[in-house]
Amino acid sequence: MAKQPRSEKTLSIKDLIEQSAKLQRLGVLDQGTGLDIHRHWDAVVGDPVASKTRPLRFRQGTLTVAVKSPAWMQQLSMMKPQLLARLAAALGRDAVRDLRFTLTDFDLKRPE
């Protein structure tokens, strides 16, 4: 049996995942984007917002954000277009297509 020649083009794992519709449906790309969101959240939204919020989950283009109070939830709803633009600029892509806000009663402080 003859060996098939190796392809000269090498693909990254990310490229392979992006080409696989099944892996995309399983949310494999969402996990990487979710990590990027957590990594950049404070810088993207700024200290005043970061102190009152935390990204909770990212699924199929929708980021759910925990918010400390109803007043901040209202404020963030009005800031949604700006936050989406900042996330797109920071992540270098239009991965976050929607933001959802949910009230939380747990401590949003980051461990020092």
Quote the CA–CA distance of 30 and 49 in Å, as a whole number: 23
Class of domain 13-103: alpha beta
Q: What integer pLDDT is reported at residue 77 of this predicted model?
A: 95
Q: What is the pTM of this model?
A: 0.67
Domain ranges of the chain: 13-103
> Does 25 have pLDDT greater than 60?
no
Q: What angle do CA 66, 72, 75 make, to 5 degrees?
A: 120
Per-residue tokens: 1: 């049996």
Q: What integer pLDDT is reported at residue 103 of this predicted model?
A: 93
> Does 22 have pLDDT greater than 60?
no
Strands 98-103 and 62-67: parallel
Quote the CA–CA distance of 66 and 41 in Å, as a whole number: 12
